[in-house]
Amino acid sequence: MARMAGTAARAEALLGTAVVSTTPVAGGDICTATRLRLTDGRGAIIKTRPQAPEGLFRREAEGLRWLGEAGGVPTPEVLGVDDDCLVIAWIEPGKPSQELAEQFGRALATTHAAGAPTFGAERDGYIGVAPLPNRPLPTWEEFYASRRVMPYVRAAVDRGHLTSDEASTIEAAMRKIHSFSGPAEPPARLHGDLWSGNVVWGAEGAVWVIDPAAHGGHRETDLAMLALFGAPHLQRILEAYDEAAPLAEGWRDRVALHQLHPLLVHTLLFGGSYGARAAGAAQSLLDGPST
């Protein structure tokens, strides 16, 4: 079988185990992912990125371990990490199903319920390769407006990806965030970047999560992110979650609020129509729920 010498050598140095074969894994636009077969029979995946932002892979490894400790949604074992790469156990993908969706919804509720010390995290992190400010603040509303929304608004305006009118609409929504943020809840243990591409429907009968931007936040944020770009059997995931950990009344009206951050991340990184979508979400909050 093929063996990519440089990648294999890097993995061997980190793991202390010989690599039998390597296979490129498609789909990564941020990092290069390579599947490894090790001499001890294990499968693994190594993620690399030339001149990776400082701490990128270490924050990811910390997030995987922290989420895994919750005893809810499983995360792949971290086999090795360094400044330039991360090696995790390989999860053989399978097919989504209603049964797995129910299992995932209930497990996600368990992960969230494990909680976090505060809204935020000890260290700043990344979402993709975009910096993710995590300095804690006392309330979720303060944290979300100051650490998740407004930094990306300013950066997107600076890049010309967000107009001043769009920015003004989003800023107006953040000034009124307390009027539509819903009942106060304690910090949940969040994945933080829970779109469908970071959910692995395992062949062995479990649903796993990868590539976290983990922090303490509002549990509705992960659910809104799942809905933003679509997920298999989403309705069953949400139903199972709500059965395990009932969501506060009006949570569907708050989806636009929780989608503001990922929309702004995409605005910053990719431009295009994402700025208009973010401003539209903010305007819908200002307008209030339709009757």
Query: Other C-beta atoms within 10 Å of 63: how many?
Result: 26
Domain spanning 5-89, CATH class:
alpha beta
Q: Residue 49: CB partners within 8 Å, gap ≥ 6?
A: 30, 31, 32, 56, 84, 129
pLDDT tens-digit map of 239-276: 999 999 999 999 999 999 999 999 999 999 999 999 99
* Residue 40 buriedness (CB in 10 A; 0-12 / 13-18 / 19+): exposed
Mean pLDDT computed over 197-213: 96
How far is it, in rounded angstroms, from Cα 199 to Cα 210? Answer: 7
Q: How do the domains of the chain map onto residue ranges?
A: 5-89, 98-287
The set of catalytic residues is 193
Q: Provide the pLDDT for residue 1.
A: 41
Length of the chain in residues, anyone? 291
- Tell me the HSE value of 255 on the side-chain side, using a 13 A CA sphere: 11
Q: Which fold has domain 98-287?
A: Aminoglycoside 3'-phosphotransferase; Chain: A, domain 2 (3.90.1200)
pLDDT tens-digit map of 36-86: 999 999 999 999 998 899 999 999 999 999 999 999 999 999 999 999 999
How far is it, in rounded angstroms, from Cα 173 to Cα 149? Answer: 10
| Tokens encoding 35 | 């599947």
Q: Provide the pLDDT for residue 30.
A: 81
Q: Provide the pLDDT for residue 289.
A: 80
> What is the pTM (predicted TM-score) of this model?
0.95
